[in-house]
Chain A
Amino acid sequence: MQTHKFTERTRMSELVNEDASLLSTISRFGISFGFGDKTVKEACLANNIDCNTFLAVVNFLSEGNIEITEVLDTISIETVIGYLKNAHEYFLDYKLPSIRNKLIAAVDSSDQSEPYKVVFMKFFDEYFSEVKKHMEYEDKTVFPYVIKLLKGKTEGKYKIADFEDQHSDVDSKLAELKNILIKYYPAKGVNYMLNDVLFDLLSCEKDLSMHNQVEDFFFVPYIEAIEQKNKLA
């Protein structure tokens, strides 16, 4: 029996104090703040979230090392999908547009504002639309497939393995923008706005890569196991 850092008796407030990066995870599960002294179990119950799934995800994210173990069969895949969908919404509707605005503001303050704005926005918008395409594909193709699979229906030749290996491109594009800003942006003096954008980019990069890890090492193996079981049945 594997034991993990957080259990159903952990207080929600303790969880956040221990690892602040879990704040966004909690929101993506649809749990709102103002936990009081609620434990994980109580908070999940109050918000109609499967507690095992919540714990599995926060422990996975918080322990920081990717451990390949037997697939758990106590997970609610619907809860995981809900979580992943909320994360997509967060990136597409909130985080990336906010970085875009900050990037415009930072570039605007340079003395080369016009050409810079054009090229930076072109880059960012291309990146944005790639992320969007990828996430919409998951929302519209992968998740519905999985939900059908759970109901025992399989059709077509689609397999979850087809979905693998698509993440690296999305990650590397953001790293590229970060690189360009750190290494090649000719900023003069102290530019707090640029710092701000960079900081946002760095945290968004990390956030996205954790999100992808949940999909690759948590979600996908689970679906694989169901596919295997169906094949044998």
Chain B
Amino acid sequence: MNDTTLKIAIAEPSVIIRSGLSVVLKRVTGLHIQTFEITTIDLINNYVRLHKPDILIINPAYWGAVDVARLKQDSGVGDLKCFALTSAMTDPAIIKQYDDEITTYDTAESIREKLNKLFEPAVVEAGEENETLSQREKEILVCVVKGQTNKEIAQDLFLSTHTVITHRRNIARKLEIHSTAGLTIYAIVNKLVELDEIKKDM
């Protein structure tokens, strides 16, 4: 899953239900959701293949038996999740094919719970975690900013390269900064390094 935006496609013929669900999804707290509305069933395969959504919500009542397993397989998306969108009692055998069900009586809150259940723990931890860097992470950040490779950092700090990579990933997640140039700004404005120390890379 993309760590910034959740791409959700809604395949539903009614424009009112489609855009209604789309509005509710944008209200789900703690997640940035981008929705795509698919108007007819024949467009699903092409859309999914081209735009690779994280979640596909389909109304099974309108389009009869959609072979969900097949759809997932053909999608080329490693971990595509499919929800059934229902407005009335639906055969449990149909619903069982899907990862979960969203009904027209769901609230933003109940949808959030369903999404979290699927993407645990990746989604849940966002925003609830301490974002300050540990001492070790600061040390590693300084090395990164000075232009050292993972291997060099590992040697200097007596760590395995694997550990260095894990630390780097945590730093990027905590600060929401992924590029070295961005980390450099962070290090300078927080006085973790002086400009002279990194000047050769500038």
Contact = CB atoms under 8 A, between A and B. Distances in A.
Interface in A53-90: 65-70
Interface stretch (A11-19, A20-28, A138-146, A216-224): A216-224
A68 B178 contact: no
5 closest Cβ contacts across the A-B interface?
A: A115-B195, A123-B181, A67-B37, A68-B38, A119-B185
10 contacts: A68-B38, A68-B43, A70-B43, A112-B188, A112-B189, A119-B188, A122-B202, A176-B176, A176-B177, A177-B182
A161 interface: yes
A13 B190 CA distance: 49
Chain A interface, >50% SS class? helix
Contacts of B109: none
A69 B43 contact: yes
Nearest to B195: A115
Interface residues of B, number: 34
Given A66-B37, A67-B39, A68-B39, A118 B176 contact: no
Contacts of A126: 179, 181
B202 A118 contact: yes
Given A173-B179, A180-B177, A216-B51, A65 B37 contact: yes
Contacts of A199: none
A165 B184 CA distance: 27
B35 interface: yes
Nearest to A220: B50
A173 B36 CA distance: 23
Interface of B: 2, 4, 9, 19, 22, 34-40, 43, 46-47, 50-52, 175-179, 181-182, 184-186, 188-190, 194-195, 202
A19 B88 CA distance: 38
Contacts of A164: 50-51
Contacts of B194: 115
B51 A120 contact: no
A54 B79 CA distance: 38
A198 B108 CA distance: 30
A155 interface: no
Given A116-B189, A118-B202, A123-B184, A224 B43 contact: no
A130 to B, nearest CB: 10
Nearest to B39: A69
Given A67-B37, A172-B178, A224-B50, 12 more contacts: A66-B36, A116-B189, A118-B202, A119-B184, A119-B188, A127-B181, A165-B52, A176-B182, A180-B185, A183-B176, A184-B190, A221-B46
Interface string A206-233: 0000000000110011001000000000
Contacts of A183: 175-176
Q: Which of A70, A112, A115 has the most CB of B within 10 A?
A: A115
Q: Which of B43, B50, B175, B188 has the most CB of A within 10 A?
A: B50
A66 B182 contact: no
Interface in A124-151: 126-127
